[in-house]
Amino acid sequence: MGSYDIAIIGAGLAGSSAAAALAQRGWRVALIERRTLPQHRVCGEFLSPEAQHSLRALGLYATVAALHPAPMRHATLVSARGTRLHVDLPDAAWGISRYDLDLALAQGAVQAGATLLQGATVTDMAIAPTHATITYRMPQGTHTLHARTAIIAAGRNPHAVLRPRLPDPQAGHRPQYVGVKAHYTGVRMPAHVELYLFEGGYTGVGRVASSAGEVVNVSLLATRAAFQRAGADPLAMLQATAAWNPALAERLAGGTLLADTLVAVAQVDTGRPGVAWDQVARLGDAATMIPPLCGDGMAMALRSAELCVPLADGFLRGTLTREQWQAGYTQAWRRSFARALWVGRRLQSLLATPYLSDVLLHTGAQLPPLARLFVHATRSREVAVAGGS
């Protein structure tokens, strides 16, 4: 199937944006995706101002702006008992369907010169100091691809051969979550993103632009116990959260769910330790599952690509060794995400408890500077990355 300078496994936000940015720099890029785009994903579909900053750095801002995302300027949190906290966003955020966004970014990578392989499931990857050999399966058969190096951006649950090889003794003791997402029409929605809390989780609601027109994204993250309590069914879970938070029921009144947009994902581990490098660089959720309360995982996926691309470019140009790339990316990743992950995971636990969520929202409403401090603490830090050109 030919040789490449770099192979990127996963054509989500991080993988496609990294592929586009590296192809723009003149490198031969193979972008490998096990699914066929476009598809709906479980996601809040919220692009924060930080995400837009990364899109500019990656040369993809115009690509996404051309999709005419829905603007959002405020965030509102509502507890199950009705306590509300309003927070102004530092700048306008964007709502955009992943169905359209993933396809646009992958097409942007192809237009920049990358080769996109869809429906290709990676079955083996061998990394040597000077090259990477990747075996993948397609309907037509099994193929082998050679590259000088590789990057993994295969989401929260990469194939077994791509998982971190470091032991994780706590994996069986951390709570596992279920995620559900659907689009609705007929919902009256201001230019806000809203978060409705219930015992065991939360539901986000926001306007998004899509190829079907402007719709409202309704996405939730719930403990397995809450999912079982709702009947262990994605649609029943959406209906149950509206019953558990009357304000959410009021918001969705009169709305119509678009059945083909309903998707769910199980075994979501938001406490998995971060692994920015395991043989090769890992981007987005392949490094760790990012709690939605960190602001938005889409921004962090794009930010990880922004951090990694100049270092990968430096390695391919010969100005950085593999060890320098690894050290630089790992350090930048930790500086950007460690604090946000720590704060987000603790907020997630506190806000899923009804009494504590009321206390926190009431305190934030009474002390706006404190609320802004927590919002700032869940954002990734801006750091300069040296290396490359």
Averaged pLDDT, 127-155: 93
- Report how many domains make up the chain: 1
Terminal Cα distance for the chain, rounded: 29
Note the pLDDT tens digit of each residue in 54-87: 999 999 999 999 999 999 998 899 999 999 989 8
Kindly report the pTM of this predicted structure: 0.90
- Is residue 330 in a domain? yes
- Is residue 338 in a domain? yes
Paired tokens of 156: 């929260």
In this prediction, residue 388 has a pLDDT band, given cuts at 50, 70 and 90, of very low
Mean per-residue pLDDT of the chain: 87
- Is residue 224 in a domain? no
- Is residue 17 in a domain? yes
- Reference 89, options 17, 202, 195; nearest CA is 195
- Is residue 287 in a domain? yes
pLDDT, residue 177, reads: 87
- Reference 378, options 266, 311, 267, 295; nearest CA is 295
110 burial (CB, 10 Å; 0-12 / 13-18 / 19+) is middle
**Residue 344, SS3?**
helix
pLDDT, residue 379, reads: 56
**Residue 382: is its pLDDT beyond 60?**
no
Paired tokens of 332: 């930048």
Relative orientation angle of helices 297-317 and 322-351, to the nearest 10 degrees: 170
Those residues whose C-beta lies under 8 Å from the C-beta of residue 129, and which sit 6 or more positions away, are 322
- Reference 217, options 197, 192, 246, 200; nearest CA is 192
Which range of residues forms the domain containing residue 141? 3-42+98-166+273-377
- Is residue 195 in a domain? no
CATH code at position 151: 3.50.50.60
**Residue 349: is its pLDDT beyond 80?**
no
- Is residue 320 in a domain? yes
In this prediction, residue 37 has a pLDDT band, given cuts at 50, 70 and 90, of very high
**Residue 314, SS3?**
helix
- Is residue 202 in a domain? no
Averaged pLDDT, 187-214: 92
